[in-house]
């Protein structure tokens, strides 16, 4: 029984609906976002890009470049105030 518990704890960092994982990635916007969602967003972006390319090749109206997928979470990176803070963050990331 304890082995199952340990394996579940190890898995928390990889589960898309894990609050722990979301906080480590940068905040609650990452909750539910996983490999599958990232692949789907990349597919949507590629289809939009190909549609735009085909429309340009066929001529006609002027075509705007496609916007990136709206549902993709954005990292909320804060710039460190000084060099010591930047190195402290790097060290914390390396040790975690």
Instruction: Give the model's pLDDT for residue 13.
Output: 85
Residue 44 lies in a domain: yes
Q: Does 53 map to a domain?
A: yes
Q: Is residue 85 part of a domain?
A: no
The string of DSSP codes covering the chain is -HHHHHHHHHHTTT-TT-HHHHHHHTSGGGTT--HHHHHHHHHHHHHHHHHHHHHHHH-SS--PPPPPPTTS----PPPPSSHHHHHHHHHHHHH-
Inside any domain, residue 67: yes
- At residue 49, the pLDDT reads 92
pLDDT values of the chain reduced to their tens digit, one per residue, 96 residues: 688 888 888 888 888 888 888 888 888 888 898 889 989 999 999 999 999 999 888 987 788 888 888 888 876 666 677 888 888 887 887 776
Co-location of 46 and 61 in the same domain: yes
pLDDT at 47: 94
The answer to whether residue 59 is domain-embedded is yes
Domain count along the chain = 2
pLDDT for the residue 96: 63
Range of the domain at 62: 34-73
């Amino acid at each position: 029984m304890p082995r199952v518990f340990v394996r579940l704890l190890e898995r928390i960092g990889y589960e898309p609906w894990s609050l722990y994982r979301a906080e480590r990635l940068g905040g609650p916007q990452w909750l539910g976002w996983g490999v599958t969602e990232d692949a789907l967003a990349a597919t949507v972006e590629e289809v939009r890009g190909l549609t735009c390319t085909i429309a340009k090749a066929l001529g006609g109206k002027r075509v705007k470049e496609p916007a990136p997928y709206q549902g993709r979470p954005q990292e909320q990176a804060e710039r460190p105030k000084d060099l010591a803070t930047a190195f402290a963050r790097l060290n914390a990331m390396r040790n975690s």
